[in-house]
Amino acid sequence: MKTWVTGGAGFLGSHVAAALVGAGHHVTVVDDFSTGLAENLTALAVRVERRSLQDPAVEELLGIEKPEVIFHLAGDALVARSVADPRTDCERNLLATLALLEAVRRASPESRILFASTGAVYGDCAERPFSETDGVWPISPYAVSKLAAERYCFAFAHTYGLRTCSLRLFSVYGPRQSKQVVYDLIRKIHANPKELALFGDGTQERDFSHANNIVDAFLLAARKAEFQGEVFNVAGDEIVSIRGLAEMLCEMMMASPRLLFTGQRRPGDSQRWVADTARLRGLGYRPRMNLRDGLRDTVAWYLRSLR
């Protein structure tokens, strides 16, 4: 199968590209390398197109290659950066997605598009897990740009007949990630095993999912989704507080730091992001890596990367 992975040199995109290569598919990575790393692709038999999705040449390439599935993971995934620079966030997430949809519509309308969205579109704290039928009230520029891109995917499916599907990812972590809470905690514990500062009061809850689970969800959706603009939540189905997460990592890294809570809440962050994955489970999804095994895997990768 011919596939494209946009943002394929990034943390999550490179995991998807590796899985596709391992399954015997032909993979073209389209990445402008603004955040992606060439080293993430070193061992992969992929063709690399170093360009922005807003480059007119992308449409020409689509017309030549006509990929069966486009795994669209290009974009910016940092809430804090979107708060500091919402215009750039909009360009990288929304405008780049719109440019891709337009290029597909004109040059390769049979291609299926799987868009990496985010659970952040739901907004702030909820008493029960978020389901796809719940209202969406994004509280960060990042979540707004992702939701708008989702809506464009839906609109292009229903207006132009494009085949699109969006996956709302919750709290992804794993090897090759160099930001976000799991990585930051591992780095801090390694740097100072005697004291660990945490945002908020430690009661914030998350539904973390290892990159392997996310890859499985993408490959499953590529095979079984209807591609009519629908959305699916993707998570690890294990709820943990930030304090609980920190304690697990400390145990794995054989550290006993004093935990300090700042009481501060970072702009754009929700108190509780927990997913209802029943819709995706209906396609056959089951997380293959639990939280403890996933954290051990990530810690081991981090320590290897220091050598």
Q: Which residues are catalytic?
A: 142
- Chain-centroid distance, C-alpha 38: 19
Strands (E), 81-223: 112-118, 163-169, 172-173, 195-198, 205-207, 209-210
Strand pairing category for 239-241 and 205-207? antiparallel
Q: How far apart are CA 160 and CA 179, in angstroms?
A: 37
- Chain-centroid distance, C-alpha 149: 14
Q: How far apart are CA 94 and CA 72, in angstroms?
A: 12
Please report, as a single letter, which amino acid is at residue 219.
L
Please report, as a single letter, which amino acid is at residue 224.
K
- DSSP at 257: P
Please report, as a single letter, which amino acid is at residue 10.
G
Strand pairing category for 272-273 and 47-50? unpaired
User: Which pair of structure tokens corresponds to residue 208?
Assistant: 């973390």
